[in-house]
Structure 1
């Protein structure tokens, strides 16, 4: 039995979520720079993510969901997931409360970082997801082969634990360290879906 594990930002979404959220409070450039540095591995994900959350915590959770709701998805990939929902997982460092609206569109089990909310605002970041831990948990569910799909430094630990790694370069050029852990590289959603259907 195969499990397909997808990164979210830049893999299922055509844009990075946190820079789009940052537009709301005029911090797009700052958050974009931090996001880009994180994708490239210049700043560790955990440190960068907590800093970005701190910068964005003045935006209400409901407003974040409204923004995220409008972010375009790679529809062909989402269609593949929805047709294979029992075998598909979204593994993202994003906060669970920020991606609730996407869970209605993408019929997969989500592994996310977790936050507590009070009066519609983030009260605390309770856990920051380690993607390798998510892969370990998915393997314990009984999947014999795990196929990981992603584009950035945050996906390397997921690729290290997976049986097959696919670097996806439609939104960002995949970073070299991820390519080194990849079995395949694709640059369009059509090519990715064709590959997924042949594995």
Structure 2
């Protein structure tokens, strides 16, 4: 049973925890970066269904060698203020989780380095040391993000009123709705319009002032 926590902060990964969109980094390896970037933008605005969009974008990765994961990790830039936020959460007895429509293959390296307590993301199917162009297992979509936040809160004994959800895209809205406080960060217009609070700067350290003392 996980240790109890005073409160819980759950972040999206791409364009929230980190400044990059990992699927675009991987698509660069297949020479399809601009095409995938345009599809990602449409999905984050909420113009198209996230799961269908993800499947089509992952299909563009077919044949990319698994060695591309290390190159993607090397290009990742943590969002300004992320370490200050994580340190403050831990200093005040909270836990930090990341739930992402991105990929475990990259988050499994990035999350421990940043001090994240738990994380969940999609997995990419691999055959013969290359991506097959398919997602392995159920897709982490908007509903899965919301369910994950609630499950982590229950596991750590955190009341829903003391949960914080931070995200930028339309697939973060369900998670933000079920949280005690939903924060739009570096966010698309639909997210800014529906969040409890909109963060003005792209600096996660600004969230520290909102945390329980």
TM-score, scaled to structure 1: 0.87
Question: Offset at 1:83?
Answer: 5.1
* Alpha carbons 1:82, 1:106 under 8 Å: kept: no
* Alpha carbons 2:61, 2:131 under 8 Å: kept: no
| Root-mean-square deviation (Å) | 2.0
Which residue of 2 is the match for residue 40 of structure 1? 45
**Equivalent of 1:28 in 11, 29, 33:** 33
Which residue of 2 is the match for residue 135 of structure 1? 149
* Alpha carbons 2:183, 2:195 under 8 Å: kept: yes
Note the residue ranges of structure 2 that are not aligned, 5 or more in a row: 1-5
Question: Offset at 1:195?
Answer: 3.1
* Alpha carbons 2:29, 2:68 under 8 Å: kept: no
Q: Residues 80 and 195 from structure 1, CA distance in 2 versus in 1: closer, same or farther, beyond 3 angstroms? A: closer
Q: How many residues align?
A: 194
Question: Offset at 1:71?
Answer: 1.6
Q: Residues 47 and 113 from structure 1, CA distance in 2 versus in 1: closer, same or farther, beyond 3 angstroms? A: same
Deviates further, 60-69 or 17-26: 60-69
Which residue of 1 is the match for residue 3 of structure 2? none
Q: Kindly report which structure 2 residues correspond to 1:74-113, keeping only aligned pairs within 5 A, or say none.
A: 74-82=79-87, 84=89, 87-108=95-116, 109-113=118-122
* Alpha carbons 2:15, 2:21 under 8 Å: kept: yes
Question: Offset at 1:116?
Answer: 4.4
Note the residue ranges of structure 1 that are not aligned, 5 or more in a row: none
Q: Residues 81 and 50 from structure 1, CA distance in 2 versus in 1: closer, same or farther, beyond 3 angstroms? A: same
The alignment status of 1:67 with 2:78, answered yes or no, reads no
